[in-house]
Amino acid sequence: MKPVAVDSRILTLATQVTESPDRDVPVLLLKLKEILSSTSPGSKESQKIKQDLYYYDLVQYCMLVLRQDY
């Protein structure tokens, strides 16, 4: 089975999230918004980015930290 390529921006963001303190999550959330808005809604690239975000649990993690702090 061939490994699926992950968007490099998602990998970078996932690394930053795991290495950053919780107080930096709002800034990282803005990067998430930037990544999502860089593609056309409904496009294959947009779907792939959403799958990558889901795979790395980035949205869920950001929501948990924001609920905790805000």
Q: Predicted confidence band at 1 (pLDDT cuts at 50, 70, 90)?
A: very low
| Per-residue confidence (pLDDT) for residue 2, from 0 to 100 | 46
3 pLDDT above the threshold of 60 = no
Query: pLDDT per residue over 47-58, tens digit each?
Result: 999 898 888 888
User: So what's the pLDDT on residue 69?
Assistant: 63
**Closest of 44, 70, 46, 49 to residue 59, by C-alpha:** 49
Give pLDDT tens digits for 17-39: 888 887 887 788 888 889 989 99
Average pLDDT over residues 64-69: 74
Q: Which residues contact 35 (CB under 8 A, 6 or more apart)?
A: 7, 9, 10, 13, 49
